[in-house]
Amino acid sequence: MNEKIRGSGCMQKLKKIPTSLPDIFFIEPTVFSDSRGFFFESYNRRDMQQVGISERFVQDNQSSSAKGVVRGLHFQAEHPQGKLVRVLRGSIYDAVVDLRKRSPTFGKAIGFEIAARDFRMVWIPAGFAHGFLSLEDHTEVLYKTTDFYYPEYDAGIRWNDPNLGISWPLAQYGISSAIISEKDAQLPLLKDIKSPFESGEIPS
């Protein structure tokens, strides 16, 4: 998936790849690779603006997870966060749910794999719940956010809500059962929460 270009005279470019949810898309950077290793710009504000991301990022979060760990599905009820997600090591099955009440895709969920070896990132704007399943041991995920973390507004939806229809690939990767924090295991189903984005507007 990554483009390998020898030398360093080419201008940095980003490839935008859509998904079935209109506002969610992958970003594939140009990677310069040779016998020494590789180099790429993991973030360039000017290039991000060219693919439609004009938001300002204020916080970076990094996690390490054992194989089978599920984190999410999380969102902030106020001060919602847009997230630019990439995998530094290993691979994940990433999942998002549209929580914007007036959106034509409200309640729709999609999932996809992201691996460090592919260098892909995914853009998840504010108004979506987000979570992932670690597919390998020592998987490291880094994501930039457009707002700070506020514990008092921390919220979420249960990762295995049957109405979401997320096909978590546990068996495919030899995972007998997901590893969930006590907090995430007690998250409500989507039908049992009131969307914080009832008006369709994303609060700041």
Fold of 57-192: Jelly Rolls (2.60.120)
Model pTM score: 0.87
| Catalytic residue of the set 93, 143, 150, 173 | 143
State the DSSP string of 142-200: EEEESS---GGGEEE--TT-TTT-----TGGGT-SS-B--HHHHTPPPGGGS--TBTTS
**Tens of pLDDT, residues 44-81:** 999 999 999 999 999 999 999 999 999 999 999 999 99
Query: Which of these ranges, 8-22, 40-54, 108-122, has the smallest mean pLDDT?
Result: 8-22
C-alpha 14 chain-centroid distance: 18
User: How far, in Å, CA of 5 to CA of 196, rounded?
Assistant: 45
pLDDT score for 112: 97
The answer to whether residue 138 is catalytic is no
| Catalytic residue of the set 43, 74, 79, 130 | 74
Domain boundaries, the chain: 57-192
The answer to whether residue 143 is catalytic is yes
**Tens of pLDDT, residues 115-150:** 999 999 999 999 999 999 999 999 999 999 999 999
